[in-house]
Structures are given as structure tokens and as C-alpha cells.
Amino acid sequence: MNSVCRLIVAGALALLATTNSAQGMAERRLALVIGNNAYPHAELKNAVNDAATMTTALRECQFTVHQHTDVTLRQLDDAVDRFVKDVKAGDVVVVYYSGHGFQLAGENYLVPVNFKANDEVDAKYAGYSANRLLERVGAQRARLTVVILDSCRSSPFGAARGAPAGLAPMQTGSGTYIAFATGPGSTASDDPEGVNGLFTGQLLKGLRQPGWNLDRLFGWVRKQVFTASSGEQLPWTSSSVIDDFWFRPDPGAVVAGSTWGNSGDVRQVAASGTRSLSAGRYDEAVTLFDRAIVLAEKRGAIQPFEAVSRGFTQRERTASTLSRLAEAIAANPRDIGARRKRATLLVSVQRPGEAIDDLVAIQGSGALGWQDYAVLAVATLQQRRMAEAVAAGRLAIKMAPEIGMPHCVLADIEYAAGQYSVAVMEANACAQHGGPKALAARIQGNALRELGQFADAAKMYRIAIDAELQ
């Protein structure tokens, strides 16, 4: 049950195909996968590995894959010809490319391994137009086309001839989703120390998650890549897709037989997760418990910054509350209580910079308490200043080691930073010291899931959902 994108239950497939709200599996799924390493003057390490691992992942997602590596321009042209002839109206199509790319006059080009150009005119004919590829696939009237371009590495042409770095934005036709490894005009990491490029490595992890539609999948990948690159690489997407699509359908949607619309579904999905856990189907149990927790959270989940500020109701998170606090602070700039409350409130509404200003003012008027450092930790996390967030979280724990919440705050930060083993340890400390049980278990489950420990992750998710439903 651990293979990437493998469908869970054969009987569920039949039910899924007959459900109006679900994605039928009778559709044909085709993929063109290309990876180029062997550039004479700008060799890459991981593009061919990227292509190979994506091919495996897509085949496990029921795609028929045309894979090609280290292709010349003629070979690339032939590969596209053969692939396009195989596409039929109504198909789901994925085009994945890993290698060098460049832009000229706002148009993107894929770079074959025999690329050679003396000027821009040559370059247009020595590269393969990504727009041309998109138009050729679109002409076959596929139901959905997903184009994934991990080709924003510094190009040999751009370095030599002064072309803009990275790739240019692309317009999407109806039913088209385009995902870039990084934003327009930026370059992406080949991650020479790893097995895959940074973007593709995270994408492969995301493809393991059942029930993630395209926006959730690539949104998660964006966050992971941004964090792993310390803000240097931010993936970018463009979409004209209307209907949902899942690389791996959600077994919970089938097992629970619901549309996830009300709180009653939470218990039903959680019960399905318990049955899967008892049967030893751990990755299925993880998926079901995760779905149940998401549903429970829609009723009012406790996030780290909210737990720090339990006194705030949703009604108080308003402009009028901030206005009243501003008046109090204007009347008495040394009103630490008002500043502390405003800082916490500003973090809860995702305004970290202003929150930090208030915390600095508190520090100038007196010592910061553990709650202040906890708020500071979340504020700097929101700004993706990971080292500062970790340092503030540790200070909060140092000031109040026997209180659970600072441990949960640090656990959440360590999880966001990819330090999954540390996150498990801190979340456990949070629970041991009386912190929010659901939050601590959820963080542990998330981290254990990333570590591939699905049985333990499922158990923690069950604890989290039981605590949410109490």
C-alpha cells in the first residue's frame, strides 16, 4: 500500500467511477516525460533522474508514459509528434520536462542537448518552443492538460548571450494547468547534492497524497520548495482548469460515501480511518484521519498562534478591535497589555511585521514574557525567517519549560523547516506538559508522515481527531 499513487481498493474504483462528484478512472491518462542532462557546456546532474522517477510515479497513477532522455532537437520533435498522435479528445495529459530552458521575446524554449546558437535568431530554431508544444497538445482537445516545467535552471544561452534568466509567464488555454519550478524570470536548483532537483523532489512527495487536487498539490510543493531554498526559489502556476483532478483519488471520499459537507462526516471518516488502522492499511488510515482532521478544523481548529491567544473570539479579530487597541496605545505608548494583545491579534490575522513592531516596543518598556516570544516565533515563521523563528521558540521554552504551548509552537516551526524528528520530539513535549492535545498529535502525525512512518502517523492522527471530537 506504500507505492506512489496506487489506488487503494479495486471495489472502490468501481464506485468512484459512478459517482458524479468523483473523478472517474475510465479516462485515458497519457504523459510525455523528458529529461536532459548531457549538455556539452552546461551538464546537469538530476534531470534524467527527475524524468525516471516522474515516469515511475505517473505510471503508478495509471498514466501511460512516453519517456525520453538526453534528446537532440530532432529527437525531441519526433517524440512530440508520436505523443501528440496518441492523444485523443477527452484524455488527461501530463507533459513533464526537466532540463535547461530559456526565454526570448516572452516565449519559452526547451533546450535539447545539441543546442547551439550564435544569436537570438539561431536560438529560436535551436530550441523547442514550449508554446508550440502546448498548442499541439491542445489541438487534440484533451479534457485536461498539465504542463510541468522544471526547466528554469540557468540556461547556457542566457548565460552566454544575456537573455533574461528563467522562463516567461505563459497563457493557458481552456483546461490547462502550467506549473513552473520557480517564478517568472527566476532560476531553479538542480540540487546536485540530491537525487532529484529541488522542485521535482518535493513534487514526488506531493504525488503520494490521495485526494489532493492540482491547486492543493502545487500549493504544498510551492511552500516546501520555498522553505527548503530559504526563500530563494518560489514555484509558480497558471491555470484555466475548472473541474477538479486528482493524480491519486481520495479513498475517504469512497469509503465514507459523503460529500464532506457537515460535522457528521467527521465521525464517519474517522471511523473508516480506525478500521483501516486496525487492518494494517496504514497509508490509507493516514489519509482518512487527515481528511477527518481537516473537516474538524473547518469548525474552528486551534492553530499555534490562536492557542497562544485563547482569549480572542473570532468576533474580536476585527478592525474595530485593532482600532480600540490603537487608541489605547496612542493614549499610553507604554501600555504593555494593549501592545501584547494587539501583537497577538496581528499575528492571528497574518500581519507579522506590525506584530513584531509591538513586541519591540514591549521589549523597550520591559522584559518579554514567554507568550511574547511565542508570538514572535510565529510572526517570524510567517515571514519565513526560519532561524529567528526557531530561536524565539526556544527562548519561549527556556522561560516556561513546564508549559506545553511553547513546545507546540516550536514543533510547528521545526516541521515547517523540515526538521521532522525534532518536531516529533517537541510536539511530544507539548502534550506531556499539558499543551493542546489535538494540536500536538496533529504536528506529530504530520512529521511522522513525512518520515515515512505511516503506522505511527496514523495513530497520532487518530489521537488528534479523537481530541477534536471530544
Domain range spanning residue 95? 10-239
Q: Which of 239, 254, 273 is the last residue of a domain?
A: 239
Work out the average pLDDT over 64-73: 92
Whether residues 312 and 431 fall in one domain: yes
pLDDT at 177 over 70: yes
Q: How far is CA 397 from CA 256, 402, 404, in A?
A: 41, 8, 9
Q: Are residues 220 and 323 in the same domain?
A: no
* In-domain check, residue 357: yes
**Residue 195 is assigned to a structural domain of this protein:** yes
For residues 328 and 414, state if they share a domain: yes
Same-domain status, 235 and 310: no
Tens-digit pLDDT profile for residues 255-295: 333 333 343 467 777 777 788 778 777 767 777 777 777 66
Name the least confident of 179-188, 215-224, 331-340: 179-188
Within a domain: residue 445?
Answer: no
Q: Is residue 313 part of a domain?
A: yes
Percent of the chain with pLDDT over 90: 21
Residues 227 and 314 in one domain: no
Number of domains in the chain: 2
Would you say 140 and 88 are in contact if contact means Cβ atoms under 8 Å apart? yes
Residues 224 and 310 in one domain: no
Asked if the structure places residue 245 within a domain, the reply is no
Residue 200 within any structural domain of the chain: yes
- Whether residue 325 sits in one domain with residue 229: no
Q: Is residue 285 part of a domain?
A: no
User: Is residue 302 predicted with pLDDT exceeding 50?
Assistant: no
Do 314 and 209 fall into the same domain? no
In a domain, 105, yes or no: yes
Do 200 and 107 have their domain in common? yes
Q: Say whether pLDDT at 336 is over 70.
A: yes
With cut-offs at 50, 70 and 90, classify the pLDDT of residue 169.
very low
State pTM to two decimals: 0.50
The model's pLDDT over 222-259, given as tens digits with 9 standing for 90+, comes to 889 888 888 888 888 888 887 778 888 765 443 333 33
**Domain end position, chosen among 203, 220, 239:** 239
Percentage of the residues of the chain whose pLDDT score is greater than 70: 76
- The residue assigned the cell 504593555 is 336
Domain end marker among 216, 239, 262 = 239
